[in-house]
Amino acid sequence: MQNAFEKEERSLKRTERKYLPEFVYGGIDGSVTTFAVVAGAIGAALSPAIVLILGFANLFADGFSMAISNYMSTKSRNELNKKQEKHPVKAALATFFSFLFIGFIPLISFVIAPISSLIATYKFEISFVLTGIAFLIVGYVKGEVVRKHPIRSAIETLIIGAIAAGLAFLVGYLLKGLA
């Protein structure tokens, strides 16, 4: 009886981890691209309303695009291997909801800013810190999933996110005269 219970428990853990890579992938891309949009808009000196519009447009459009791409990729891989390794819809949903959930983090301070003058004053700085924490957490989880050093993975994800945000800020800053 104990043996059957242990087998079931191991099976559940495998199922829980089965879609974790999609969650990590969606979370990293969601936070990187959304914060890049925020940084680019701030670099261009756009209003907080524009930051929110661009941020939410990115969340849903890019999240949907990633989910559909994941669905098609998983479906193609299953057809090529002639076996059902992952359910394409579940893989796509894991990517989409991770993208939305983690990708929303850079926008939190901009959403809350109208009801708090302190947050309104430091909304970009708060977004920066929250997004940095999100990069570290998702990178750490990524390290755990792929069985690599989680601290190194966390720092790597933070650096990638910082570079993307820096590039977006620079582009926004250089093009701000167009707005």
Cα 119–Cα 121–Cα 125 angle in degrees, nearest 5? 75
Does some domain include residue 12?
no
Domain containing 122: what range? 19-178
Question: pLDDT, tens digit, for every residue of 68-113?
Answer: 999 999 889 888 888 777 889 999 999 999 999 999 999 999 999 9
Which of 43-57, 80-94, 127-141, 154-168 is least confident? 80-94
Does some domain include residue 150?
yes
Asked if the model's pLDDT at residue 10 lies above 90, the reply is no
- What band does 2 get if pLDDT is binned at 50, 70 and 90? low
Does some domain include residue 116?
yes
Does some domain include residue 121?
yes
Neighbours of 141 (CB within 10 A): 19
Does some domain include residue 7?
no
* DSSP letter for each residue of 124-178: HHHHHHHHHHHHHHHHHHHHHHTTS-HHHHHHHHHHHHHHHHHHHHHHHHHHGGG
Confirm whether pTM is higher than 0.95: no
Does some domain include residue 99?
yes
Q: What is the DSSP letter of 87?
A: -
- Please check whether residue 91 is in contact with residue 74, taking contact to mean a CB–CB distance below 8 angstroms: yes
- What band does 13 get if pLDDT is binned at 50, 70 and 90? low
Number of domains in the chain: 1
pLDDT of amino acid 81: 86
- What band does 120 get if pLDDT is binned at 50, 70 and 90? very high
Does some domain include residue 1?
no
Residue 163: both structure tokens together: 């570079």
Q: Which amino acid is at 135?
A: F
Asked if the model's pLDDT at residue 177 lies above 90, the reply is no
- Give the list of residues 6+ apart from residue 157 with CB closer than 8 angstroms, or none: 28, 135, 136, 138, 139, 142
Residue 33: both structure tokens together: 């691209």
Does some domain include residue 14?
no
32 vs 7 pLDDT, higher one: 32
